[in-house]
Amino acid sequence: MGSMRSAWSVLLGGALSLVGSAALQAEPPPSAASAIPASNRPRQTKPPARPAASSAEARIRRLFDAVVADDPALAEGVFFPRDAFLLVKGIRDPGRYYDQLNARFIADIHALHRRLPGLAQARFVRFDLAQRGGFVKEGEEANRLPYWAARHSFLVYETGGQTVRVEVRVLITWDDQWYVIHLNEFR
């Protein structure tokens, strides 16, 4: 995961130290295989249908509420599920990496609350799920299971007659649901 430039209207600071990846494991443990949705199963010959943007809308509204209130607990269920992450990532100690990403997500909520303008009068308008991204196959990005990714999506809100767009860096899917995995740029 190389460094990417952020398109945030409001720049966020901080760094995320990534866990070094180990060799990919060929398959998830047999006991977990039954818990893997059809759209995330390995060895697919063609990508499944891309999940609808509507599956992300309610989650992004909760994310917006969490930023406005400066309360990450309001964003419960917005971040990619831990159990799914442990199945998806083919790296050494995926739980540790998940904890780092989740801590960064929480810190980003606080940072957005401090930096975004007009939150006291803010009104959620919509979420624009990006078409940029695509189907990430097993073996790509140190994954042992595939998923859909959307990069550079935008949460849109209004405040004081102004429209503000806030980038949501990366969403990925588990089954037919979109979840945030990177709220801002990652290093």
* Radius of gyration in angstroms for the set of CA atoms belonging to the chain, rounded to a whole number: 17
DSSP letter at 160 equals T
pLDDT over 90 percentage in the chain: 78
- Domain range holding 134? 31-40+49-182
Q: Is residue 139 part of a domain?
A: yes
Domain membership of residue 15 (yes or no) is: no
- Counting other chains too, the contacts that 118-124 makes at CB distance below 8 Å and 24 or more residues apart are 118/159, 118/160, 118/162, 118/164, 119/67, 119/68, 119/159, 121/159, 121/160, 122/64, 122/68, 122/157, 122/158, 122/159, 122/164, 123/157, 123/158, 123/159, 124/61, 124/64, 124/65, 124/155, 124/156, 124/157
Task: Please give the C-alpha separations between residue 173 and each of 3, 91, 119, 181, in angstroms, as whole numbers.
Answer: 22, 19, 29, 10
Residue 12 lies in a domain: no
> Does any domain span residue 177?
yes
Look at the chain and report how many structural domains it folds into. 1
104-159 pLDDT, tens digit per residue, is: 999 999 999 999 999 999 999 999 999 999 999 999 999 999 999 999 999 999 99
Residue 28 pLDDT level (bands cut at 50, 70, 90): low
Regarding predicted confidence, which is higher, 166 or 7? 166
Across residues 25-54, what is the average pLDDT?
78
Assess whether pLDDT exceeds 90 at residue 187: no
Q: What global pTM score does this model have?
A: 0.81
- Indicate whether 163 pLDDT > 60: yes
Q: Is residue 35 in a domain?
A: yes
Higher pLDDT residue, 1 or 184? 184
pLDDT tops 90 at residue 19: no
* Domain contains 67: yes
Does some domain include residue 165? yes
Query: Which band of pLDDT confidence, cut at 50, 70 and 90, is reported for residue 185?
Result: confident
Q: What average pLDDT does the segment 53-65 reach?
A: 96
Residue 68 lies in a domain: yes
**Percent of the chain residues past pLDDT 70, beyond the cut:** 81
